[in-house]
Chain A
Amino acid sequence: MVLIGIILAIVVVLTFLSPNFLKVRNFTNVFLQVAVIVIICSAANLLMITGHFDLSVGSVLAFCAILHAYLSKHGLPVELSIVVTCAAAVVWGALNSLTVGVLRITPVIATMGTMYAARGFAFLIARWDGGANISTGLPVNFTSFGRFLLPGGMPLVIVLMVVAIAVFWFIEKKTVLGRYTYAIGGNRSAAALSGINVVGIVSVLYIIVGLLAGFCGVLQVSRVGSAFPNIAEGLEFDVVVAIVLGGTSMLGGEGSTFGMILGALIVGLAANGLNILGVPYFYQEISKGVLLIIALLLDQLLRQRSELGGRA
């Protein structure tokens, strides 16, 4: 409820401050910006509910963006390149499941490792191509995927976002995977003693998160039409901010897809609003930090109150 209130407050304030805000085109813009975050969040949210992090999503996105551009430029058909790139994203996810799930390295550290490695490879691939980025020599149909418009002018990206939300809402509510996610985050030891394959479930989630991060890289690069190895820097924190704002506990066990959508909307709206108002970048960063802390404090306050009420 707090989240919906915050969203309304942002909308009202921005409507007053900027005449452009309430226009349809601006809203399309907000959703285009939010889409990537929401698609990644939908899976990362489940991962966080098990009590695990993935800090490598931004780097994997950049890696896959560059890889897709590189392969397409060097003769692989665009469709095939998308498939190969997504396979590479799965490998990054599998690497995270290996280090975190099987070798039991702390998630923050292990995925920070893949975060640096994937980013490094992104720069390396750009270098193989002979420059700092890949923006020329791409085939003409390179951008047809990312800029695809459905009849009626709806961008494909936004449709994919809605599909991702629907799929993960379904996983959360109706599948064994979703249920086990909450069980593992709520009580890992009881989950293991109930015969739940804890390592297996966490591994699957890391792989899905990796895959979606990579897929978003493909989406982004084919929308923009050029690939830079430094894109999506800090995306991992936007993802965490959106998820945490959405009410998912950092310790696991609690959270929902619905809350995550609201969290992502707040992040997107706030960024968009500040952009429209022409607030300089560094103030935007500061306000993002303040927003996160205030939202968490409110959340904590409400949770304590409801827990006391529940016990009485």
Chain B
Amino acid sequence: MSGQEGTVIEVRGLTKSFPGVLALNDVSFDIRRNTVHCIVGENGAGKSTFIKILTGAFEKTAGEVLMDGKSFGPRTVREAMSRGISVLYQELNVVNDLTVEENLTLGKENHRAGFIRKSEDMGRVVEILKGLDASIRLNMSVGDLSVAQKQVIEIAKVVSTESPVLIMDEPTAALSEDEVRRLFAVIRKLKADGMTIIYISHKLAEVFEIGDYVTVFRDGQMVGTRAVGEISRACRDVPEACLELVKMMLGKVVVESYIPSRTDRSRKLLEVRKISNKKLHDVHFDLFKGEILGFYGLVGAGKTEVARALYGLDEYQGEILINGKPARARSVRGALAAGFSMVPEERRADGIFAALSIRANIPMMRMASILRGGLISNIKEKRLADQYIAKMSVAARDRDQKVAFLSGGNQQKVVISKCLNREGDILLMDEPTRGVDVGAKHEIHVIIRGLANEGKGIIVFSSELPEILHLCDRIVLMHDGSVREIVKNGEDVDSNHIMAVIAGGKV
């Protein structure tokens, strides 16, 4: 390797557009050789698009990437690897049924006429593996190893290809604290050996532990690149340093005025008493009749996990009371029976029945609403559909239109209708306006407000602070799987304080 200092990757005006979306917009920054360069940003900020261009999965629309001063535009993952960029994906590519040794040589077996011969030059990769984690033996079955150990095997494979640049995509997502510490030791070792590591993570504290530089993405643009040391020096502690990054990630928070709902503070609809599972620690909160409760935190803070636990999708310890009575749902059907319904985060994958008409989608959670004498009544079905199409002002040709052909906002209105027709008391809404245009977003907010005024209890899980501040009566702030603070919304709410809390600061 030439000089230890200098730039290994230069990004110049990199742009990627999809029909209707600008996923990366004129991004320029440098990645210095032999550093750990972190990339952070919320969902949709453009991190993964950037990585996919580097690894040849996407083709750039405009701009340039230089590697070692030479133009770099791989068209396939293989080409990217041969030019020296390897990736450690979030989903591991090890084969559980094979041994460690077989996994190490997978894809580059020494073979003659299709028969595998014992490799002679395994020496190097085995040495690397020993150097990384001496407790892994070659004849162990990979299926018996921990996630962290499997990662180490993949890292050893990557290192043995002598690729100078390694991209790690959220490597700590599935690791325990102890394993994270060991992974960091491995990363430091790789850096000492001269590698450059591009480290993508949602966990900002990790940036300050392992990173040399950090680049922040927001809405497809590069907000800034900072030396981690500089930020740390300027701040008293890690949470305060994280707050700097959070501010960059979220940008200026523009809030529409908040109109309080007519919450009936005398009636607790839902009491959640210290629920815990793998991802959650002692989550504790109440929901009142007619209240819109917001859950806010960075990606990975545990918002979706709270929704999943309440909706009977994940196991948990702890207690949930509905209208004062214990209601512990072990399944979705249990949760529905207890009075929950949920607008899921992924509308296309989990919400709509795209091939069915609007009128067929709406009664799906409570078929009894369109039955007469045990059979589907066309009259009742049409009436129900028309009623919700009017109430939600769904823009559609007619009630028989396939949901696939509706816009995102109108699809979301159909999903909300489906949940409302369940007539439960509590509506969970995970990212209720994701992928919805501005006009529809406003309409959906009005609908949510209206539902609260009708007496429903609504929990909104959102990664958009403006949405939370516009809609919610109280805001549950989450960090690292636990509730840090519950703040009341109003004129005096301090968005700087909220950002400090979700960044992990002291309350």
Contact = CB atoms under 8 A, between A and B. Distances in A.
A193 B350 contact: yes
A310 B405 contact: yes
Given A175-B376, A176-B367, A183-B364, A194 B356 contact: no
A186 B354 contact: yes
Contacts of A253: 355
A195 B355 CA distance: 19
Contacts of B402: 310
Interface in A234-274: 253-254
A193 B342 CA distance: 8
Contacts of B418: 194
A182 interface: yes
Contact of A186 (B332, B356, B376): B356
Contact of B355 (A196, A254, A311): A254
Interface in B416-438: 418
A187 interface: yes
Contacts of A182: 353, 355-356, 360
Contacts of A174: 375-376
A187 B353 contact: yes
Interface string A182-219: 11001101111111110000000000000000000000
A179 interface: yes
Interface string A151-194: 00000000000000000000001111001101100110111111
B388 to A, nearest CB: 15
Given A174-B375, A179-B376, A311-B405, A195 B332 contact: yes
A196 B350 CA distance: 13
Query: Secondary structure of the A side of the interface?
Result: helix
Interface string B218-236: 0000000000000000000
A186 B355 contact: yes
Interface in B362-403: 364-365, 367, 371, 374-376, 402
Most buried by B among A176, A183, A194, A311: A194
A301 B117 CA distance: 49
Contacts of A183: 353, 356, 364
A196 B364 contact: yes
A190 B353 contact: yes
A140 to B, nearest CB: 43
B276 to A, nearest CB: 23
A298 to B, nearest CB: 20
B350 A179 contact: no
B350 A189 contact: yes
Interface residues of B, number: 25
B336 interface: yes
A173 B349 CA distance: 25
A197 B376 CA distance: 18
B459 to A, nearest CB: 16
Given A186-B356, A189-B350, A194 B364 contact: yes
A187 B311 CA distance: 19
| Interface residues on chain A, size class | 20 to 34
Nearest to A185: B355
Contacts, number: 61
Contact of B352 (A173, A190, A192): A190
B333 interface: yes
B344 interface: yes
Contacts of B364: 179, 183, 191, 194, 196
Interface string B304-336: 000000010000000000000000000011001
Most buried by B among A180, A186, A197: A186
Given A193-B332, A197-B333, A179 B355 contact: no
A254 B367 CA distance: 20
Contacts of B290: none
A173 B376 contact: yes
A127 B420 CA distance: 61
B351 interface: yes
Contacts of B375: 174-175
Interface in B16-48: none
A175 B371 CA distance: 9
Given A182-B353, A183-B364, A193 B405 contact: no
Contacts of A192: 332
Contacts of B349: 187, 189-190
Nearest to A187: B353
Interface string A135-159: 0000000000000000000000000
A190 B350 contact: yes
A180 B354 CA distance: 14
B19 to A, nearest CB: 12
Contact of A176 (B342, B350, B371): B371
A186 B353 contact: yes
B91 to A, nearest CB: 19
A180 B367 CA distance: 10
Contacts of A196: 364
Contacts of B356: 182-183, 186
A14 to B, nearest CB: 36
B392 to A, nearest CB: 18
Contacts of A175: 374-376
A253 to B, nearest CB: 5
A295 to B, nearest CB: 21
Contacts of A173: 376
A255 to B, nearest CB: 10
Nearest to A189: B350
Contact of A194 (B354, B365, B371, B376): B365
A75 B366 CA distance: 50
Interface string A85-101: 00000000000000000
Nearest to B346: A189
B354 A176 contact: no
B367 A179 contact: yes
A182 B353 CA distance: 9
Most buried by A among B350, B354, B374, B375: B350
Nearest to B419: A194
A254 B355 CA distance: 8
A191 B367 CA distance: 12
Most buried by B among A180, A186, A195, A254: A195
A311 to B, nearest CB: 7
Given A183-B356, A195-B365, 6 more contacts: A175-B375, A176-B367, A182-B356, A194-B365, A195-B336, A197-B333
| Closest 9 pairs between A and B when the two form their complex, measured CB to CB | A195-B336, A186-B353, A174-B375, A186-B355, A176-B367, A194-B365, A194-B364, A195-B333, A253-B355
17 contacts: A173-B376, A176-B367, A176-B376, A182-B353, A182-B355, A187-B349, A187-B353, A187-B354, A190-B350, A191-B353, A193-B311, A193-B332, A196-B364, A197-B333, A310-B402, A310-B405, A311-B405
